[in-house]
Structure 1
Amino acid sequence: MEAAQSNTVNEAKVPVFKNRNFLFLIIAALFSSPGYYVYLIGAEWLMLSITENRFYFGMLFLAASIPRLLLLTAGGLIADRFNRRTILFLSDLSRALLIIVLLFFILTDSVTAVHLIVLAMLFGISDAFSYPAMNSMTPMILAEDQLQRGNSLIQMTAQISPILGPAVGGSLIAFLGFEGVFTVAFIMLLLSSLAVLFIRLPDQPVANEKKTPWEDLKEGFSYARKNELVIAVVILGFFLNFFISGPLSIGLPIIIKDIFQGSALNLASVEISMGIGALAGAIVLASIRLKKQGLVLLISLILLGIFYASIGMSANLLLVVMLVATMGFLIQLVNIPLMTMLQQTTEKRMLGRMMSFLMTVSTGLVPVSYVVTSLLLAMGVGIQVIIMVGGIIVTLIAAINFRNKHILSFKEQKG
């Protein structure tokens, strides 16, 4: 065990791009994330093609979101108990095999809306275990002063995917049909799982006493409760996603269509601008080193709230495109330091649980944000008002946290 740990630490001291383990992790992410989006665009279009009932289309997203939300904490527990590489391998491989099942239904002309919803649910279960495993692997294969760059590079793959995945998927549907798009998605996820096998992790610390999963969960909550920085990071993650993700995802199509009388092309340009801004932010953080991560995070969060609120007051489509692109850039200046701070201050044996807590209150609770936004719209509240109020709240939260010395004083850790 000691030898394994020593080898990994020594490897982590080399430059990021010469770190064999991290390179295979990046390769896996470059296949996995775009592969998932290729599958997603295929599944969405297939659902729209086989049924006129748009209720099923909405269920496609809900079916993936609910299992992810319910099982993320369990995913964190398992990531701390078992080899994270094995978890990530099984997650990618299981998704590849699920696509094979879908291809069987397509080739036999027996695919139904229920099949797609069940597969979406199984994909959501897989996500709940892969997220904590991947996000807790980075600190095990990189030195602490390399985490910002490493997280930025991982985020780059995540931001390329919503741009590249739908473009590739849409083209494949047009030229090769559903069999072609799902075959490519299968190959990409299979290659990702194979790349994961080449990663070598140190042995994870094993407690002297065997604990039950319930005891592990209580230990995780106790650890988080005693760590004020962890609490602050998780709370910021919650507010950022709750007040922005739902209103922005639901609101942009409404604003483009109803307020600006725009087209699908206009909506695509707005959504692509978000991806481009986020990609630019990830590239910048991969290129420079933030010495005062906490200060940059809070300043970026204030600006993010202001630009977000401005969308609700904007009367010009081009201005909305520019605001959304800037938001994408600023979101990376918030999310990447948040992730890095949590990784650097968490004991390695607790990384899976802390990552799952963060994922639960951020990506996991996005469906709750969707529901609340939808209810407000049903009550007659205008989407522009919802966005403006959300932006103001995010700005106020950031301003309040300037009194939080744990965040404000956080600086880059030296490896």
Structure 2
Amino acid sequence: MTLSGAAPGVAYRDGNVLRWTAAYTASVGGDVVFFLALSWAATRMAGPAQVGAVLAVGAIPRALLMLVGGVIADRYGPRRVVIGSDLTRCLIVFGAAALMQFATTRLSMLFAVALVFGVIDALFMPAVGALAGRLTEPGQLGRVQGLRMLAVRLSNAIGPMIAASVLTVAGVAAGFGLAGLLFSLSVGLLLAVRLNRTQPGVRSTGSSFADLKDGLQHLRRNRHLSRLVVVVGLGDMCFSGPVGIGLVLLTAERHWAAAVLGWTLSAFSIGGAAAGILLTALTRVRRAGVVLLCSLLATAVLVGALGQITTAGVLIAGSAVLGTTSGVASGLGNALIQRKTDPRYLGRVSSVTSLSTVGLGPLLYPVTGVVAAVWGTGVFFAGCALVCLLAAVLAATKTVRGSEL
């Protein structure tokens, strides 16, 4: 079912797109606060060793069920699924806050919360990606992805500071409560979002398995689209978590103060926010495929160089530039994917890209630690550079290089 709305205009002046952007910002902020509160609670109950186990319990079902989430988004509409999953996350987190405040809490409760949250996330991620492609006309998709990038990076920059303050002053229950408030704000804003009436949705009449198979066949049939999905998946994989962990390990290896780490991570987020503003402001990205290729090459060089830096100030500056180049690559790549995807398949295609980034990225945390421990953080960042370089090689092929947005 398609909901009618006002005729779409310039994305950053479209009230419908701006409501979605505000909702997505609140939702990402809720994610940041939730995971910090969950990690803090696990550390206080059982120590640092259990934090990874609790986070893994949520990450595994998210990865395993991501493709199913894409099918559900296409069958029932991304708006319905986003609102329903965001509301469920809100209730889960408020429930966790109540248990932390009024009941005797155990580690098993945190495992249960992480597990259920991970399952719901597997529904939310593909749906929110599909919804972004159904808000306005195709010519505005680059700007929508710029706004999405801006929302993610600002939430990642500001969210940890707010969460840390609440956890320090009021405790874990208040941290979960803050996450619940952010999710509830997101739900309220999403209720006012309408889909673009010029892009009608088509509900499937087959089985869920048939829909999943059809979505994968759609990717296989469309060589241009499938190549773009692989490029974006490889380009984003290291930046969905592993690089952040690598920066933590790098600052520890160099014996730098925690303030250096904070500035480095903030600089990366600010650079990504700048990329989001740039993509939002541009009327058109000429030769978008070539720009995607160049930004991936720059990202590969920068992330490889990051592991060799021995001066804190240079690391902070390099992180800001890396945030910008990787942000441009991610925003452009996702916009091109949505431009090339039939609206009937947006959820399933989004689930594939989400699987390779948000789904599999956290599962690479143990690999990050092992590589850094055995060979040093420089080798880890060199590995990330090779992954980005592979994405650039694929982007250099004619099918991707010739893409226009």
Tell me the residue number matched to 2:133.
139
> Would you say 1:15 and 2:10 are equivalent positions?
yes
Tell me the residue number matched to 1:82.
76
Separation in structure 1 between the aligned mates of residue 246 and residue 13 of structure 2, nearest angstrom? 43
CA pair 46-154 structure 1, distance change in 2 beyond 3 A? same
Aligned pair partner of 2:175 in 142, 161, 181: 181
Separation in structure 1 between the aligned mates of residue 221 and residue 148 of structure 2, nearest angstrom? 29
Tell me the residue number matched to 2:214.
219
Which secondary structure does the structure 1 equivalent of 2:256 belong to? coil
Matched to 1:319, the amino acid is V
Matched to 1:218, the amino acid is K
User: How is 1:139-218 mapped onto 2 (pairs within 5 angstroms)?
Assistant: 139-201=133-195, 202=197, 204-207=201-204, 210-218=205-213
Which secondary structure does the structure 1 equivalent of 2:7 belong to? helix
Tell me the residue number matched to 1:361.
356
Tell me the residue number matched to 2:100.
106
* 8 A Cα contact 1:242 1:369, kept in partner: no
Tell me the residue number matched to 1:408.
401
CA pair 214-396 structure 1, distance change in 2 beyond 3 A? closer
- Quote how far apart the aligned CAs of 1:60 are: 2.3
Which secondary structure does the structure 2 equivalent of 1:66 belong to? helix
* 8 A Cα contact 1:64 1:121, kept in partner: yes
Tell me the residue number matched to 2:249.
254
CA pair 22-66 structure 1, distance change in 2 beyond 3 A? same
Normalised by the length of structure 2, the TM-score is 0.93
Tell me the residue number matched to 2:67.
73
More displaced, 326-335 or 186-195? Answer: 186-195
CA pair 142-108 structure 1, distance change in 2 beyond 3 A? same
Separation in structure 1 between the aligned mates of residue 169 and residue 369 of structure 2, nearest angstrom? 36
Separation in structure 2 between the aligned mates of residue 400 and residue 109 of structure 1, nearest angstrom? 53
* 8 A Cα contact 1:245 1:369, kept in partner: no
CA RMSD of aligned residues (A): 2.0
- Quote how far apart the aligned CAs of 1:23 are: 2.7
Separation in structure 1 between the aligned mates of residue 316 and residue 386 of structure 2, nearest angstrom? 20
- Quote how far apart the aligned CAs of 1:36 are: 2.2
Aligned pair partner of 1:42 in 21, 37, 45: 37
Residues 323-379 of structure 1 show CA distances to partners (whole Å, capped at 9, x for unaligned) of 11111101111101111111011111011101101111122111343243344346x
Give ranges in structure 1 of 5+ residues lacking alignment: none
More displaced, 262-271 or 389-398? Answer: 389-398
* 8 A Cα contact 1:306 1:392, kept in partner: no
* 8 A Cα contact 1:277 1:325, kept in partner: yes
**Percent identity over paired residues:** 25
Normalised by the length of structure 1, the TM-score is 0.91
Whichever of the two has the greater Rg, that structure is 1
* 8 A Cα contact 1:76 1:356, kept in partner: yes
Give ranges in structure 2 of 5+ residues lacking alignment: none
CA pair 400-140 structure 1, distance change in 2 beyond 3 A? closer
- Quote how far apart the aligned CAs of 1:408 are: 0.8
Residues 250-285 of structure 1 show CA distances to partners (whole Å, capped at 9, x for unaligned) of 322222112x21122221111111111111111111
User: Which contiguous aligned blocks of 4+ residues in structure 1 show a shift greater than 4 angstroms?
Assistant: 242-247
Separation in structure 1 between the aligned mates of residue 213 and residue 285 of structure 2, nearest angstrom? 34
CA pair 393-213 structure 1, distance change in 2 beyond 3 A? closer
CA pair 187-327 structure 1, distance change in 2 beyond 3 A? same
